[in-house]
Amino acid sequence: GLAGLGPVTTRLSLGRCDTLLQAFGGAELQALAQGFRRLQKLHIVQMSGRMGFPASFWAVLLQQQVLPALHTLRLYLPRHIDMPGLSRFLAAAQRPLRLQLHRCIGQWGAEVRQQVQRVVAGLAQQGVHSAVRVELT
Look at residue 17 and tell me if it is in a domain: no
Look at residue 6 and tell me if it is in a domain: no
In CATH, what number is assigned to the domain containing residue 101?
A: 3.30.370
- Quick one: what percent of the chain has pLDDT higher than 90? 27
Give yes or no for residue 74 having a pLDDT over 80.
Answer: yes
Beta bridge partner(s), residue 100 = 74, 135
Beta bridge partner(s), residue 16 = 45
**Helix or strand or coil: residue 47?**
strand
- Between CA 27 and CA 3, with CA 34 as vertex, the angle to 5 degrees is 50
What number of other Cβ atoms are within 10 A of residue 74's Cβ?
Answer: 18
pLDDT tens digits, 84-130: 999 999 998 878 889 999 999 999 999 999 999 999 999 888 877 55
Look at residue 22 and tell me if it is in a domain: no
Look at residue 113 and tell me if it is in a domain: yes
Q: Which of 18-32, 73-87, 118-132 has the lowest mean pLDDT?
A: 18-32
Backbone angles phi, psi at 40, to 5 degrees: -105, -35
Total number of domains constituting the chain: 1
Q: What is the pTM of this model?
A: 0.78
Instruction: Report the alpha-carbon distance of residue 66 to residue 131 in Å, rounded.
Output: 15
Look at residue 2 and tell me if it is in a domain: no
Range of the domain at 85: 32-136
Q: Diameter of the chain by CA atoms?
A: 42
Look at residue 106 and tell me if it is in a domain: yes
Look at residue 23 and tell me if it is in a domain: no
Instruction: Report the alpha-carbon distance of residue 69 to residue 36 in Å, rounded.
Output: 9
Look at residue 21 and tell me if it is in a domain: no
